[in-house]
Amino acid sequence: MQPMVAEILDGKRLARELHAEVKKQAEALAAGGTRPGLATVLLGDDPASQSYIKSKIKACHEDRIESFHHGMPAETSETELLELVATLGGDPRVHGILVQLPLPAHIDESKVITAIPPAKDVDGFHPANLGRLGLKGAEAAFAPCTPAGVIEILERAGVTISGKRAVVLGRSRIVGLPVSMLLLRNDATVTICHSRTADIGSVTREADILVAAIGRPRFVTADMVKPGAVVIDVGVNRVDDASRKRGYRLVGDCDFEAVAEVASAITPVPGGVGPMTIAMLMKNTLTAATVR
């Protein structure tokens, strides 16, 4: 077996740095009379969603951000949810509002997201915020937390983005599209690939920076990566693993061990982009409280 050549970009460590910065600023804000506050809303009891929300509330406590959590039954009507969002929108203690997705099928997700005031949309999913993402010099926007975390990792790892060829695998509203816009705003030449892309390997091999967000376990193989590329793996996929007590393990969209022999740097899964996502949520909440 060849030795690994890639630097492992440690998202946990980078996230710890960011949390420490947020905490310090949150304390300074609180000393000035404004305690930053984040409202979280969860419908139903999906275990994955519950686990995400728990991590977010925990991060609030650690970073000195006031947490207002609203757990509601899965049967909650769209009207009730919209009323709650409106109440939170008018609550001066609440600087950020996060409605945990996905929502139950009887609720129009886009209606709920659009009901969040853009200035409190710390998840960055409001179309008015998404629409500003690609614009240099446009009004400050909240970038969605995972894409913002990708950029934060690149910056903190000292990777130059400007002038580089960046290829993004995936065009979702949550990751692929916004991360493309952020890379573009940072002066990369950006290519967006997806399920309809022909000869996808020939496209990904052009990338100096490759962002995988396609949601397929180990889809990106070593031959799809240009030697020396920086690879950011946003995928979180469960694969069966009988050797684990819970019967599965988490893997990214990249064949990590093989790609690490080709890339110059790569984020692991777990422990790469994941920890940065929650840290960016805290940072966005702090920004929302500061702007006010």
Q: Shortest gap between Cβ of 195 and a second copy (angstroms)?
A: 9
2 is catalytic: no
Specify the residue, 61 or 194, whose C-beta has the smaller distance to a second copy. 194
How many residues at the interface with a second copy, by CB under 8 A? 33
The piece of 20-28, 95-103, 120-128, 258-266 that touches a second copy (CB under 8 A) is 120-128
56 is catalytic: yes
Q: Shortest gap between Cβ of 144 and a second copy (angstroms)?
A: 11
91 is catalytic: no
173 counts as binding a second copy under rule CB under 8 A: yes
- Who's near 58: CB < 8 A, 6+ residues apart? none
Q: Shortest gap between Cβ of 107 and a second copy (angstroms)?
A: 15
The piece of 12-20, 99-107, 125-133, 142-150 that touches a second copy (CB under 8 A) is 125-133
Question: Binding mask 180-219 vs a second copy (x if CB under 8 A, - otherwise)?
Answer: ----x--x-xxxxxx-xxx----x----------------
The piece of 45-53, 127-135, 211-219, 244-252 that touches a second copy (CB under 8 A) is 127-135
177 counts as binding a second copy under rule CB under 8 A: yes
132 counts as binding a second copy under rule CB under 8 A: yes
The residues that touch a second copy, with contacts defined as CB under 8 A, are: 110, 114, 126-135, 138-139, 162-165, 171, 173, 177, 184, 187, 189-194, 196-198, 203
